[in-house]
């Protein structure tokens, strides 16, 4: 029988924390497939831990060892090998709430049995801030109808802090394959592509107001650490350009709410790119910022460019004296409120 869900866990020198992640996934039992992708780990026991779980749970866990290709190639490898009807990525330093997971999988089972399995299941996620032992939950109760099937025409307005992230989505595996998505290798922040590119292939959705995904924040070497993001801003730019290229938003004119959300998401990516270039502050970073906006203008239709330039995306591109300082100040305020990195 086909598994209900595949969990893909990209692992890179993750021995210190990956067991906790895996144990929460094992709570799903035989209805789950867990693919542990060892992404060329050499500094610790990650490969051995992957093999250990595969040997201990041969009907649930698969261990895949690959040359280092980055987080995106770990996700790609999972999609290639997944046998589950649904697919969810769980980073090896994060984990799932086991009670919420049980509830979500029971609902998916019911929907599948009724022949109404959605293309996308959405749940809340929780920032777990290790440095001060606090949490912040991102939920979508103002955006989506709860506990029923719905389409894009039923979707409400997203606040800037409410983007769908990898943590909040469970895609039908076939949707990921049908959209032709291949995440770039050796690139961080590709989880944005993972969520964004398949959206036009999603026709039915289901939202449960459950805090399923626990998103660990606080390691100094973490990819979302601010200083790390500034150093890796070129990878953020690469991802943003990929998102500009992978979908012609003008082609979605007849799907107004889908198009509106994808414009919102792409605007957010432009804003994030701008902010980290501003935090860099160098002349080179300023040139990269100008080049990114030029790329957007040259590779989108005029109305798409205008919607982003003069909408949310443009609030980080203030071309007047002290504009950059205002943007950075606004970012600092938002950071304190939402504690997103």
Query: Is 177 exposed, middle or buried (CB count within 10 Å of its CB: 0-12, 13-18, 19+)?
Result: middle
Q: For residue range 301-320, list pLDDT tens digits in order.
A: 999 999 999 877 676 776 66
CA distance 285 to 249: 27
Residue 228: the pLDDT is 79
CA distance 249 to 275: 24
Residue 330: the pLDDT is 65
Question: Comparing C-alpha atoms, which of 148, 105, 124, 89 is closest to residue 4?
Answer: 105
Residue 79: CB atoms within 10 A of its CB come to 20
Residue 328: the pLDDT is 65
CA angle 24, 25, 30 (to 5 degrees): 130
**Token pair of 312 as six digits:** 């949310």
Residue 131: the pLDDT is 73
Residue 310: the pLDDT is 86
Residue 144: the pLDDT is 98
User: Which regions in the chain score pLDDT beneath 70?
Assistant: 218-225, 313, 315, 318-324, 326-341
The DSSP string of 155-177 is --PPPTT----GGGEEEEHHHHH
Cβ-contact 82, 173 below 8 angstroms: yes
Residue 272: CB atoms within 10 A of its CB come to 21
Residue percentage of the chain with pLDDT more than 90? 79
Residue 335: the pLDDT is 63
Q: Output the CA–CA distances (angstroms, integers) from residue 53 to 16, 31, 236, in the order listed.
A: 15, 17, 34
Pairing of strands 95-96, 86-89: unpaired
The DSSP string of 14-34 is -TTTHHHHHHHHHTTGGGEEE
Q: State CA 137 to chain mean position distance.
A: 15
Residue 127: the pLDDT is 93
Cβ-contact 114, 33 below 8 angstroms: no
Residue 261: the pLDDT is 96
CA distance 135 to 232: 26
Q: For residue range 139-196, list pLDDT tens digits in order.
A: 999 999 999 999 999 999 998 888 999 999 999 999 999 999 999 999 999 999 999 9
């Amino acid at each position: 029988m086909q598994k209900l869900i595949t969990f893909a866990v990209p692992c890179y020198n993750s021995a210190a924390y990956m067991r906790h992640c895996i144990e929460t996934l094992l709570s799903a039992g035989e209805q789950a497939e867990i693919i542990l992708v060892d992404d060329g780990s050499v500094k610790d026991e990650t490969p051995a831990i992957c093999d250990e779980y595969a040997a201990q749970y041969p009907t649930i866990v698969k261990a895949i060892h690959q040359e280092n290709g980055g987080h995106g190639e770990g996700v790609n490898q999972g999609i290639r090998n997944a046998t589950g009807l649904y697919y969810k990525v769980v980073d090896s330093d994060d984990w799932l709430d086991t009670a919420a997971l049980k509830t979500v999988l029971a609902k998916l089972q019911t929907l599948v049995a009724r022949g109404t399995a959605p293309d996308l299941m959405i749940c809340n996620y929780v920032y777990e801030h290790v440095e001060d032992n606090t949490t912040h939950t991102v939920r979508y109760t103002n955006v989506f109808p709860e506990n029923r099937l719905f389409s894009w025409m039923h979707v409400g307005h997203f606040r800037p802090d409410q983007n769908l992230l990898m943590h909040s989505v469970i895609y039908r595996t076939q949707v990921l394959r049908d959209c032709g998505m291949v995440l770039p290798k050796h690139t961080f922040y590709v989880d944005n592509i993972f969520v964004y590119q398949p959206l036009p292939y999603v026709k039915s959705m289901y939202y449960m107001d459950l805090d399923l995904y626990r998103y660990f924040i606080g390691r100094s070497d973490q990819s979302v650490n601010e200083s790390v993001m500034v150093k890796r801003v070129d990878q953020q730019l690469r991802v943003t350009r990929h998102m500009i290229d992978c979908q012609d938003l003008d082609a979605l004119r007849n799907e107004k709410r889908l198009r509106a959300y994808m414009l919102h998401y792409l605007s957010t990516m432009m804003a994030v790119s701008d902010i980290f270039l501003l935090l860099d502050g160098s002349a080179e970073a300023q040139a990269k910022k100008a080049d990114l906006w030029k790329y957007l203008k040259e590779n989108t239709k005029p109305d798409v460019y205008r919607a982003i330039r003069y909408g949310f995306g443009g609030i980080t591109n203030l071309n007047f004296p002290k504009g950059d300082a205002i943007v950075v100040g606004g970012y600092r305020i938002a950071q304190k409120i939402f504690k997103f990195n």
